[in-house]
Structure 1
Amino acid sequence: MAVQLLARLRVNICTIYTSTHVNAKDTLSRLFSSAGITVNGSNAWDIQVHNEHFYTQVLATGSLGLGESYMSNWWDSPRLDEFFHHLLRGELDTKAHKSLAIQGEILFSRLFNRQNPASAYRNAVKHYDLGNDLFTQMLDRRMVYTCGFWKNAQSLNEAQEYKLDLSCRKLQLKPGMHVLDIGCGWGSFAKYAAEKYQVKVTGITLSKEQAELGRQLCKGLPVDIQLMDYRQLGGQYDAIASLGMFEHVGLKNYRIYMQTVFNCLRDEGLFLLHTIGSNHSTAYIDPWINKYIFPHSLLPSIRQIGKAIEGLFVMEHWENFSTDYDKTLSAWFTNFSSNWNKLKAKYDDTFYRMWKYYLLSCAGSFRARKNQLWQLVLSRKGVEGGYRFS
């Protein structure tokens, strides 16, 4: 009797297990189909599923499960960037299930400051201290880890130089100025501005790896790279730039950040803010990006930036370069993939898939116009006679 009951129980469990997977597969396949994606289809943006657990994991944990199952080699796509382009243009991200864990993370982000000084340092270390070897093989010759501007550019090197020069021109730099670079990375902007515009630059970063290599790259120039949180800043500067750092500030710190910049900028100075932006105001980032790439980062919306600068700055200029980031991320992946043989002794195959997923999913997101890339020029009092740059 006991044996018969156990056998019946096994049958029931198997039936439920099989039914769950069949229903999950059917549900997810229909969702993908609504975005023009076919499971095990022949188009470059279709996906090939290698493990049937993929369906239940993605339905249960949404974006996090999609990324983790890719890292585990449960599925693939010939063109991961195009897969995400289709997925996001089809707005499947708005239909994604938010697990209780993710809902808890969202609530925690609203209640607590996930980017306080101690947390900000830990967040920066996880990504930017991965290893200078990785970024050297992936980036352009100047080590610029922000969006390049591709107007008239034929290569990543040219796109990044054009971006750096445009940024300097927007700030109206003149010889002898003292410029502050918040989130200076490996000193690419500081080095370019010092060389081409004969200015003195103070750069700050939270990454020891960036600071060490940046000092080497800027040796002999009037560039001082310091390991420092922006909340520690003092003094005044003729111009301030922040390229690709505001994404790490966090909603609860936006006003503090802007107040700090305001206090450090001379009355006639200009502030250039270069940041990825979101179409919607939120308090959290994509859960997979949050866990594996940029912990506790946040993409600001127009409304959130506006609220942070209100009563402090005058908006002089706002420009969108979002489609340029698609090209930049694709170029970074080409470099990363081409140079993988130089890196694989240190980074394993799971890291390769994680990094590929990061770069190409973000490229697809910019292509789908879900993410934006903004450059803002702000002044303290308003430029007398109006702001112009050439």
Structure 2
Amino acid sequence: MKEAKKILTRLLEAANIHVNGSNPWDIQVHDERFYRQVLSHGTLALGESYMAKWWDCAQLDELFTKVLIAHLDTFIKADLKLKLEIFWARVSNLQRPSKAYEVGEQHYDIGNDLFEVMLDKRLTYTCAFWQHAHTLDEAQAYKLDLSCRKLHLQPGMHVLDIGCGWGSFAKFAAENYGVKVTGITISKEQAAFAQDACKGLPVDIQLMDYRLLTGQYDAIASLGMFEHVGYKNYRQYMQVAHQCLKDDGLFLLHTIGGNHPAMFTDAWLNKYIFPNAMIPTMPLIDEAMEGLFIMEHWQNFGTDYDKTLMAWYGNVVTHWPALSAKYSETFFRMWSYYLLSCAGSFRARNSQLWQLVLSKNGIRGGYAVQPQKHVQVV
């Protein structure tokens, strides 16, 4: 126990993090088992021990920023169980059709009451675009409008929304750009909410895996869904999008991106938040789209995700007195750890947020984002 404490304390101090120190990003250890557990089991134990109240930190987001900038995660080796999970991810398809609905059941179906107070008024569960925005509602409206402008949407178009969530993009595009939208999701709660939210609009929301899609569309949007596809299915995903997109259409892919390839996301996030998720890298996306699409535009606004996650966390804290009647303190610690650790990852530039615009045959004369028009942003 003493040796484990010495090693972990030395590692943390290399990142200017002190055990029981006075800085807001310092770790306050309540249970000495913390040291050996984290050294033995890595990031999974770090998150689980926080949930168990073995340690605290006043500013978790900044703690993770410092940990990741110093690359401390690379010094803590994976245990045998995690190594076996990584091996299994290599030899099997964790995102096969029979497992497609798991993330919906575990994460997106937790309860709309949580997401309604955490997210913006449209329930947009993807990175907001904060340029010129002062509130979360404005930032998400600007992101939705930017996405529509990148797709060159015009009245009368039929748009496919792969991974439509609670219908924010579908509703926004139908109301502000006069398009018809077909949206699909693997979450029952999302589908029911989106169907109700889009009543009276030319929007069709379906509970469906993307591999079952048919038909052709003038444009395709996929915001925050590609992280659940898995590298073994990237090519099939791109083939489905290619088949569903008309020859002169545009495909907007909005996804978190990673700097280094990994078979699945962080072990703690994989277990408690997003089962079977995998963050793509640039080479993997390029390989998947080769021969199917031409890259027209690639934008990175990953630093905006830091601000978005902190806004979500602030909303959860504000509404926790009401939420606590349904959700436990352990859940609150888990959810806080999720939002703040991810914010730290984007702040450290360990994670990215990409928007790609793809075409099937290239845009004659070149591609440009459509100029902004007046839309309802509040």
- Structure-1-length-normalised TM-score: 0.94
Q: CA offset at residue 232 of structure 1?
A: 0.2
Structure 2 counterpart of 1:119? 99
**Farther-moved stretch of structure 1 (88-97 vs 256-265):** 88-97
Structure 1 counterpart of 2:160? 180
Alignment of 1:176-215 (within 5 A): 176-215=156-195
> Partner of 1:339: helix, strand, or coil?
helix
Question: Is 1:300 the equivalent of 2:280?
Answer: yes
Question: Is 1:47 the equivalent of 2:32?
Answer: no
Structure 2 counterpart of 1:341? 321
Structure 2 counterpart of 1:352? 332
> Partner of 1:118: helix, strand, or coil?
helix
Question: Is 1:244 the equivalent of 2:227?
Answer: no
Gaps of 5+ in 1: 1-20
Q: CA offset at residue 286 of structure 1?
A: 0.4
Structure 1 counterpart of 2:84? 104
Q: Which has the larger helix fraction?
A: 1
Tell me how far apart the structure 1 counterparts of residues 16 and 240 of structure 2 sit (CA, whole Å).
47
Tell me how far apart the structure 1 counterparts of residues 64 and 310 of structure 2 sit (CA, whole Å).
13
Is the Cα–Cα contact under 8 Å of residues 104 and 188 in structure 2 kept in the other structure? no
Question: Any runs of at least 4 consecutive aligned residues in structure 1 with deviations exceeding 6 A, and if so which?
Answer: none
**Farther-moved stretch of structure 1 (261-270 vs 91-100):** 91-100
Q: CA offset at residue 380 of structure 1?
A: 0.2
Structure 2 counterpart of 1:153? 133
Tell me how far apart the structure 2 counterparts of residues 331 and 318 of structure 1 sit (CA, whole Å).
25
Letter in 2 for 1:140: D
> Partner of 2:90: helix, strand, or coil?
helix
CA deviation map 1:15-52 (0-9, x unaligned): xxxxxx11010000000011110111111111100000
Letter in 2 for 1:59: L
Letter in 1 for 2:269: I
Tell me how far apart the structure 1 counterparts of residues 61 and 103 of structure 2 sit (CA, whole Å).
26
Q: CA offset at residue 123 of structure 1?
A: 2.4
Letter in 2 for 1:261: A
Question: Is 1:234 the equivalent of 2:214?
Answer: yes
Question: Is 1:95 the equivalent of 2:94?
Answer: no
Q: CA offset at residue 124 of structure 1?
A: 2.0
Q: CA offset at residue 284 of structure 1?
A: 1.9
* Aligned counterpart for 1:58 among listed residues 38, 41, 44: 38
Question: Is 1:143 the equivalent of 2:143?
Answer: no
Is the Cα–Cα contact under 8 Å of residues 258 and 351 in structure 2 kept in the other structure? yes
**Farther-moved stretch of structure 1 (115-124 vs 296-305):** 115-124
CA deviation map 1:287-310 (0-9, x unaligned): 000000000100000010000001
Q: CA offset at residue 283 of structure 1?
A: 1.2
Structure 1 counterpart of 2:251? 271
Is the Cα–Cα contact under 8 Å of residues 163 and 225 in structure 2 kept in the other structure? yes
Tell me how far apart the structure 1 counterparts of residues 217 and 110 of structure 2 sit (CA, whole Å).
31
Tell me how far apart the structure 2 counterparts of residues 232 and 274 of structure 1 sit (CA, whole Å).
21
Letter in 2 for 1:101: K
**Farther-moved stretch of structure 1 (61-70 vs 113-122):** 113-122
Tell me how far apart the structure 2 counterparts of residues 118 and 336 of structure 1 sit (CA, whole Å).
33
Is the Cα–Cα contact under 8 Å of residues 218 and 248 in structure 2 kept in the other structure? yes
Tell me how far apart the structure 2 counterparts of residues 272 and 342 of structure 1 sit (CA, whole Å).
37
* Aligned counterpart for 1:364 among listed residues 340, 344, 347: 344
Q: CA offset at residue 282 of structure 1?
A: 1.8
Letter in 2 for 1:127: H
Tell me how far apart the structure 2 counterparts of residues 275 and 242 of structure 1 sit (CA, whole Å).
8
Question: Is 1:387 the equivalent of 2:359?
Answer: no
Letter in 2 for 1:324: D
Tell me how far apart the structure 1 counterparts of residues 90 and 103 of structure 2 sit (CA, whole Å).
18
Structure 1 counterpart of 2:355? 375
Q: What's the RMSD between the two structures over aligned residues?
A: 0.6
- Structure-2-length-normalised TM-score: 0.97
Structure 2 counterpart of 1:280? 260
Structure 2 counterpart of 1:33? 13
Tell me how far apart the structure 2 counterparts of residues 317 and 209 of structure 1 sit (CA, whole Å).
33
Structure 2 counterpart of 1:133? 113
Number of aligned positions between the proteins: 370
Letter in 1 for 2:268: W
* Aligned counterpart for 2:235 among listed residues 241, 244, 255: 255
> Partner of 2:101: helix, strand, or coil?
helix
CA deviation map 1:61-102 (0-9, x unaligned): 000000000000111111000000001011111112100000
Tell me how far apart the structure 2 counterparts of residues 339 and 281 of structure 1 sit (CA, whole Å).
37
Letter in 2 for 1:305: I
Tell me how far apart the structure 1 counterparts of residues 120 and 341 of structure 2 sit (CA, whole Å).
20
- Is the radius of gyration larger for structure 1 or structure 2? 1
> Partner of 2:211: helix, strand, or coil?
helix
Question: Is 1:86 the equivalent of 2:66?
Answer: yes
Tell me how far apart the structure 2 counterparts of residues 95 and 176 of structure 1 sit (CA, whole Å).
55
